[in-house]
Amino acid sequence: MTRAEIVAGAREAIHNGSKSFRAASRLFDPVTRERSWLLYSWCRHCDDVADGQTLGFGGGTRGDVATLRAKTRLAMADEAPDELPFLALEQLLRERPIPARFIEDHLEGFALDESGWRPRDEAALAQYCYHVAGTVGCMMAIVMGVPADDDVTLERAADLGIAFQLSNILRDIRDDHDNGRCYLPADWLADAEVTPERLFDPENGTALQSIVARLVAAVETYEASARRGIDQLPFRSRVAVLTALRIYGAIGRRVAALGPAAWDRRVSVGKLRKLAYVAPSLAEATFGGAAGR
């Protein structure tokens, strides 16, 4: 495949797989935008294989992490198999080298899921969120021009990914519960005197909302930390990241506001609301945090 064909396939993946990331990616400069699509294509594929989905929805075939890891390492060696996600990663690495540790760390998150892992406490949850999403924040920061040895900025980028993943966990508590998964820390469940299996029993509504409140607080903590690194990004990237941060933060807070009705249908942010977040993000990117917050 030519580069144009690979980019077109990656664009199709983000178009169908994530309305939020697709909206934010439009704010990047053209080169960064295309590279973000390339990274998304590989990350989306890994997630789909781990969950047995197609572009984040049902109907896919569950694979194994060992195969993902083997194919990914071929792409890292410039010998990618003839599959779009790995060709996309290979192309990205030719244009913008990414340290292997972030790619390997990302795959480790899927290995945790494959093993049936559950977090014992908030620190373990944060570590998992780093693997599945914080690493993506680090890789995206490098795509946006952050040097691979700028550990301080990359730590803030990891915090952004962790905040996004915590919002995902908030939104998907019910779906995960129905699929036999639980990403809520065991000690939080113990504090609320509820078991994962009984989480959605009617009498446990107050307990569930107390856990939701703790998740929202964690999201806000990581959002605040992530903001401290945004000044290191190019201007258009700052606008894109701040817009994405507002969109994902709104998802988590919307879940908290809806209470038990939050899981009647998938919580999302509409097009007009997403557009509304561009203006304060532009102000914050231009004038600093005081203007945007």
Domains, in order of start, for the chain: 1-97 (no CATH), 98-293 (1.10.600.10)
- Structure pTM? 0.90
Q: What is the phi-psi region of residue 213: left when phi exceeds 0, alpha when psi lies from -120 to 50, beta otherwise? A: alpha
197, with CB counted inside 10 A (0-12, 13-18, 19+), is exposed
Q: Which residues pair with 25 in a beta bridge?
A: none
Q: How far is CA 263 from CA 172, 185, 196, in A?
A: 8, 19, 16
Closest CA to 206 of 193, 216, 218, 222: 193
Q: Which position has the token pair 């994530």?
A: 18
- pLDDT tens for the chain, 293 residues long, are 899 999 999 999 998 888 878 888 888 999 999 999 999 999 999 999 987 766 545 555 677 899 999 999 999 999 999 999 999 999 999 999 999 999 999 999 999 999 989 999 999 999 999 999 999 999 999 999 999 999 999 999 999 999 999 999 999 999 898 888 899 999 999 999 999 999 999 899 899 999 999 999 999 999 999 999 999 999 999 999 999 899 888 888 888 888 777 777 777 777 788 888 899 999 999 987 543 44
